């Protein structure tokens, strides 16, 4: 409303100036007075026409190339501006209004090279592009957004501003242009190192995870989603006129549960939380390639449980959860962990992904260990070496036979990240 009143007042000023110059030429006469009138007349007419030129008829839309990205990638945005009337415009500015979710940056592994505070992940993004339409009806340009942070992002509004040659009258308008794209957490390359395997006939020691024995087929069954193409029994398929796959003798399926601490303490920085999200996804993706029954549990004020197994749907749901997960700043993880472990079914292996640890959590872990075969902790910390206090807190876990792996942020900057399961 204020802008409309300003344009009306300035248009009235332009019209008044034309009338004044005309009256001056009529009463004064002479070459100079008429030169001033006729010299300003086309400028004044253009200013009046510009004041009545509607920006609301413009059409603005974007094209986003590959709207599914990974944290740290860049995204290319192509902007199209169309207008029906080729009114001459000397210039216009295009400003993209970035949402708060994009006021962060992620540089993949590079962000872990030195300990950073959460403020250092914050960035001020601003994009203003100068365009020169003249008589053109269709304007096209591209820009890129780099170092994308994890999350679901929505570009919703742009502002276009233009003015006449002298800048006496300016016009601007906001256009609601909705585009969405998603940025999944960065996936580290993970190397699994284990000395455990479980067979039907008992436990044995092995240097690597054991998988399905696909050398001897024990039978056939109908095809199910997730079966490999190489398992198809073509003879039985041709005989029964339906796709049949071979069944193999399996090792005993190991139930693996990864528990993620979704709380964050005031003393922790945002980088530690992002590291726990990335490592959780990377580890689950690595285990998904193995023939194990896996589940994922993220604990905050609520429990977010995903029983993955070989379900692609559950895997997508877990990825979507990690896509938008945010840390819980109130409450105690040790209390919630004890509550969830109390009614959890027995698992062969539990991995606990934490970014902070205290004596209360140590006690809760020792209680949970009594009901589990194997218990491992992945402790992500900001410094190269643990403090004396942290070492003393973790010492009882090692005496209890619980595997504790310390991962510093600098270790996460080097792929592959080695995860040891003892």
**pLDDT single digits (tens) 259-302:** 999 998 765 678 899 999 999 999 999 888 876 788 899 999 98
Whether 248 shows a pLDDT value over 50: the answer reads: yes
Task: Read off the pLDDT of residues 122-138 as tens digits, 9 standing for 90 and up.
Answer: 889 999 999 999 999 99
Taking the C-alpha atoms of residue 187 and residue 34, their distance in angstroms, rounded to an integer, is 74
Instruction: Answer whether residue 200 is part of any domain.
Output: no
Same domain, 146 and 34: no
Whether 14 shows a pLDDT value over 90: the answer reads: no
Instruction: Answer whether residue 306 is part of any domain.
Output: yes
The two tokens of residue 157 are 């509004």
Q: Which helix (H) or strand (E) holds 59?
A: strand 59-65
Residue 101: predicted pLDDT: 93
**Is the torsion defined by CA of 96, 100, 104, 106 positive or negative?**
negative
Same domain, 159 and 179: yes
Instruction: Answer whether residue 205 is part of any domain.
Output: no
Whether 32 shows a pLDDT value over 50: the answer reads: yes
When pLDDT is cut at 50, 70 and 90, the band that residue 196 belongs to is: very low
Same domain, 403 and 260: yes
Instruction: Answer whether residue 210 is part of any domain.
Output: no
C-alpha to C-alpha distances, 348 to 128, 197, 253, 369, 374, nearest whole angstrom: 56, 11, 9, 11, 6
Whether 208 shows a pLDDT value over 50: the answer reads: no
Instruction: Answer whether residue 196 is part of any domain.
Output: no
Of 144-153, 251-260, 350-359, the range with the highest mean pLDDT is 144-153
| Range with the poorest average pLDDT among 156-165, 219-228, 287-296 | 219-228
- Mean pLDDT over each residue of the chain, to the nearest integer: 84
- Average pLDDT estimate for 146-155: 95
Q: How many distinct structural domains can be found in the chain?
A: 4
Residue 210: predicted pLDDT: 44
Residue 203: predicted pLDDT: 36
Same domain, 244 and 265: no
Taking the C-alpha atoms of residue 76 and residue 146, their distance in angstroms, rounded to an integer, is 9
- Phi and psi torsions of 178, nearest 5°: -95, 125
Taking the C-alpha atoms of residue 253 and residue 131, their distance in angstroms, rounded to an integer, is 62
Residue 326: predicted pLDDT: 92
Whether 201 shows a pLDDT value over 80: the answer reads: no
Chain centroid to CA 194:
31
Whether 346 shows a pLDDT value over 70: the answer reads: no
Same domain, 235 and 300: no
When pLDDT is cut at 50, 70 and 90, the band that residue 353 belongs to is: very high
Same domain, 230 and 336: no
- Average pLDDT estimate for 340-357: 83
Whether 251 shows a pLDDT value over 50: the answer reads: no
Q: Supply the CATH number for residue 118's domain.
A: 2.60.40.10
Same domain, 275 and 150: no
Instruction: Answer whether residue 192 is part of any domain.
Output: no
Same domain, 264 and 148: no
Cis preceding-peptide flag for 66 (omega within 30 of 0): no
- Average pLDDT estimate for 139-147: 95
Taking the C-alpha atoms of residue 46 and residue 88, their distance in angstroms, rounded to an integer, is 9
Whether 163 shows a pLDDT value over 60: the answer reads: yes
Closest by CA to 23, choosing from 34, 39, 32, is 34
Residue that the structure tokens 């009594």 belong to: 370
| Range with the poorest average pLDDT among 78-82, 91-95, 135-139, 251-255 | 251-255
When pLDDT is cut at 50, 70 and 90, the band that residue 247 belongs to is: low
Same domain, 238 and 357: no
Domain around 282:
252-421
Whether 387 shows a pLDDT value over 80: the answer reads: yes
Strands 349-354 and 255-261: parallel
Residues of the chain with pLDDT > 90: what percent? Answer: 38
The two tokens of residue 403 are 């595997």
The two tokens of residue 247 are 């069944």
Taking the C-alpha atoms of residue 169 and residue 48, their distance in angstroms, rounded to an integer, is 9
Q: Which of these three, 34, 52, 70, is where a domain ends?
A: 52
Whether 34 shows a pLDDT value over 60: the answer reads: yes
Of 197-206, 214-223, 337-346, the range with the highest mean pLDDT is 337-346
Residue-wise DSSP of 365-411 = HHHHHTT-SEEEEEEEESSSS--HHHHHHHHHHHHTT-EEEEEETTG
Instruction: Answer whether residue 189 is part of any domain.
Output: no
Query: 341 — alpha (psi -120 to 50), left (phi > 0) or beta?
Result: alpha
Residues of the chain with pLDDT > 70: what percent? Answer: 87
Whether 185 shows a pLDDT value over 80: the answer reads: yes
Task: Read off the pLDDT of residues 18-27 as tens digits, 9 standing for 90 and up.
Answer: 899 889 888 8
Residue 227: predicted pLDDT: 65
Residue 74: predicted pLDDT: 95
Instruction: Answer whether residue 201 is part of any domain.
Output: no
When pLDDT is cut at 50, 70 and 90, the band that residue 402 belongs to is: confident
For helices 359-369 and 388-399, give the axis angle rounded to 10 degrees. 10
């Amino acid at each position: 409303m204020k802008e409309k009143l300003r344009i009306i007042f300035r248009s009235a000023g332009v019209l008044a100036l034309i009338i004044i110059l005309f009256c001056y030429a009529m009463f004064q006469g002479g070459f100079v007075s008429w030169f001033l009138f006729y010299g300003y007349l086309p400028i004044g007419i253009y200013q009046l026409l510009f004041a009545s030129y509607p920006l609301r008829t413009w059409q603005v839309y974007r094209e986003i190339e590959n709207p599914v990205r990974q944290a740290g990638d860049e995204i290319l945005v192509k902007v199209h501006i169309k207008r029906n009337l080729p009114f001459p415009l000397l210039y216009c500015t295009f400003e993209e209004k970035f949402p708060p979710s994009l006021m962060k940056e992620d540089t993949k592994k590079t962000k872990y090279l030195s300990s950073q505070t959460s403020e250092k992940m914050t960035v001020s993004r601003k994009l203003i592009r100068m365009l020169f339409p003249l008589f053109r009806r269709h304007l096209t340009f591209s820009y890129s957004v780099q170092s994308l942070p994890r999350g679901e992002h929505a570009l919703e509004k742009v502002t276009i501003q233009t003015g006449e040659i002298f800048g006496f009258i300016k016009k601007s308008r906001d256009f609601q242009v909705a585009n969405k794209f998603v940025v999944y957490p960065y996936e580290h390359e993970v190397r699994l190192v284990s000395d455990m395997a479980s067979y039907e006939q008992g436990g044995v020691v092995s240097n690597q995870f054991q998988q399905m024995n696909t050398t001897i087929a024990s039978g056939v069954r109908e095809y199910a989603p997730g079966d490999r193409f190489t398992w198809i029994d073509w003879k039985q398929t041709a005989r029964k006129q339906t796709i049949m796959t071979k069944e193999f003798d399996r090792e005993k399926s190991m139930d693996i549960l990864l528990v993620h601490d979704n709380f964050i303490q005031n003393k922790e920085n945002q980088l530690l939380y992002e590291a726990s999200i990335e490592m959780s996804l990377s580890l689950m993706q690595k285990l998904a390639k193995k023939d194990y029954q896996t589940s994922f549990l993220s604990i905050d004020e609520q429990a977010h449980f995903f029983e993955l197994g070989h379900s692609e749907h559950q895997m997508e749901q877990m990825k979507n959860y990690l896509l938008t997960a945010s840390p819980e700043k109130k409450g105690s993880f040790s209390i919630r962990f004890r509550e969830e472990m109390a009614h959890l079914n027995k698992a062969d292996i539990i991995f606990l992904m934490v970014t902070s640890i205290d004596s209360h959590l140590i006690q809760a872990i020792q209680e949970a260990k009594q009901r589990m075969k194997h218990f491992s902790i992945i402790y992500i910390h900001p410094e190269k070496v643990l403090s004396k206090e942290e070492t003393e807190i973790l010492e009882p876990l090692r005496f209890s036979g619980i595997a504790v792996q310390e991962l510093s942020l600098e270790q996460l900057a080097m792929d592959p990240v080695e995860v040891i399961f003892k």
